[in-house]
Amino acid sequence: MSAVAAAAIATVVDRIYREESRRVLATLIRLLGDFDLAEEALHEAFRSAVEQWPRDGVPDNPRAWLVSAGRFRTIDALRRRARFDAALADIAERLHAGGSDDPADIEDPHLEDDRLRLLFTCCHPALAPDAQVALALREICGLATEEIARAFLVPTPTVAQRIVRAKAKIRDSRIPYEVPPRTELPERLDAVLHVVYLVFNEGYSATAGDSHVRADLAGEAIRLGRLLVELLPDSETLGLLALMLLHDARRAARTAPDGDLVLLDAQDRGLWNRAAIDEGCALVRTALRARRIGPYTLQAAIAAVHAEAPDAQATDWSRIVGLYGLLMQCDPSPVVALNRAVAVAMRDGPEHGLPLVDALLDGDLRDYHLAHAARADLCRRLGRSAEAAEAYRRALALARQAPERRFLEGRIRALERA
């Protein structure tokens, strides 16, 4: 095979790894019954692909091929190790008896549901909430431990320990790898929705790095949201799916061609995905008719107000302030209070929003870069340029995402020129 052809195969392997590795891992966990074995099998499968595909060509069903290769390599490795540990021979034979090595037999109805099974396993109530989130982001979405640590502002070793303990708990407690029975779904759903929302947020606005958006994570969260709606179409599953669709509908307009950030009021609404907006708004209307309305439905309703406005000036800020008030009642948090303060400033003027933001900066949001950026914008609109520049500098010192940093630097330069 020529060097050009080999490079083309390597590109295909890289793409399939990005697009399929988490699906392959989820299925390997089901087949092998162990997180660590499955992760080792995943790496072995892609190593086999790098070795064999340049010679044999890319298979018709790469995902099934990878699952089969990973399972076979794991069984083979366990048999070799059995010379030193007889117990591994029993495990290898059990795994061999549990399935076929033919890739054609791997593609079955279980495959598309495997990540949903994995999601409920990671969010099992026997695990601590912080461990649920860390494990799900690591195993379902493939975030590096360092990325998860940055997202939650905790040391990397702490996240690593949470993940190790969670895997051990699942193994030692024999937590089943399954979607729970329908009778248990309501009590298990909140944790699952929370994790899907965190996955989407990391995709919608990455906590760090050169890109503002990670479309792969956002798309995965939306796919999981659709599966959850099929499983249990209550108001909050509908609301979460609607919220993700409405936010993701603006993806093409949220960054400039050079990757710079574009704020909502400056976005080209012609680039918004109208089909996603229509679907999201329809889901919001259905969710609002339910007896129990929760935080995801209310956030989706706010997103729908933005999405339905023909331009920024036509936004119904009074309605948004009212919805944020309801959200503060059912799910109070400093970030919700910050968003409400910004909405008040848009409705009543920056002089009314600024005291609300200042109160939050004196409390829980003193190290939150978006709170300092919000204060900077309100000061800028009030003509208090020195205060605005100082707040932008504080936001810049706290921001870790490259597009946000470039935006803040641009605002500081504009104030300095003025």
Nearest to 141 by CA among 83, 203, 188, 94: 203
With residue 371 as reference, give the H or E element that holds it: helix 369-381
| CA 16/CA 53 separation, integer angstroms | 12
| CA 140/CA 27 separation, integer angstroms | 11
Four-point Cα dihedral 184, 187, 192, 198, nearest 10 = 180
* pLDDT on residue 396: 96
| CA 27/CA 63 separation, integer angstroms | 10
List, in sequence order, every residue forming a beta bridge with 261; answer none if it has no partner: 255
* pLDDT on residue 257: 87
Nearest to 335 by CA among 297, 363, 312, 316: 363
* pLDDT on residue 104: 46
| CA 70/CA 62 separation, integer angstroms | 12
- Which residue shows structure tokens 């495990």? 91
* pLDDT on residue 418: 77
- Residue 238: what residue type? L
Tokens of 182: 């329908």
* pLDDT on residue 304: 98
Nearest to 378 by CA among 342, 337, 415, 418: 342
| CA 66/CA 234 separation, integer angstroms | 36
Tokens of 167: 């895997």
The backbone region for 97, taken as left when phi is positive above 0, alpha when psi lies in -120 to 50, beta otherwise, is alpha
* pLDDT on residue 209: 53
| CA 254/CA 263 separation, integer angstroms | 7
- Residue 265: what residue type? D
| CA 325/CA 340 separation, integer angstroms | 7
| CA 315/CA 36 separation, integer angstroms | 50
| CA 100/CA 95 separation, integer angstroms | 10
Task: Compute φ and ψ for 327, nearest 5 degrees.
Answer: -65, -40
Query: Rounded to an integer, what is the distance from CA 220 to the centroid of its chain?
Result: 7
- End-to-end CA, the chain: 61
- Which residue shows structure tokens 């929705």? 193
Query: Rounded to an integer, what is the distance from CA 193 to the centroid of its chain?
Result: 11
Tokens of 215: 């479309």
Long-range contacts of 9-14 (CB under 8 A, 24+ apart): 9/53, 9/54, 9/58, 10/50, 10/54, 12/53, 12/58, 13/46, 13/49, 13/50, 13/53
Task: Compute φ and ψ for 316, nearest 5 degrees.
Answer: -85, 85
> Around Cβ 268, how many Cβ atoms within 10 Å?
10
Helix %, strand %, coil % for the chain, to 5? Answer: 75, 0, 25
Contact indicator for 289, 254 with CB cutoff of 8 Å: no
With residue 274 as reference, give the H or E element that holds it: helix 274-288
Q: What is the pLDDT along the chain (418 residues), one digit of tens a residue?
A: 566 667 788 888 899 998 888 889 989 988 888 888 899 999 999 999 998 998 888 898 999 999 989 988 888 777 766 555 555 455 445 554 555 555 544 455 454 578 788 888 998 989 998 899 889 888 887 888 887 887 676 889 999 999 999 999 999 998 988 888 878 877 788 888 988 898 888 778 765 555 556 777 788 889 889 988 988 888 999 999 999 999 999 999 998 888 888 999 999 999 999 999 999 999 999 999 988 899 999 999 999 999 999 999 999 999 999 999 999 999 999 999 999 999 999 999 999 999 999 999 998 899 999 999 999 999 999 999 999 999 999 999 999 888 899 999 999 999 988 7
* pLDDT on residue 105: 47
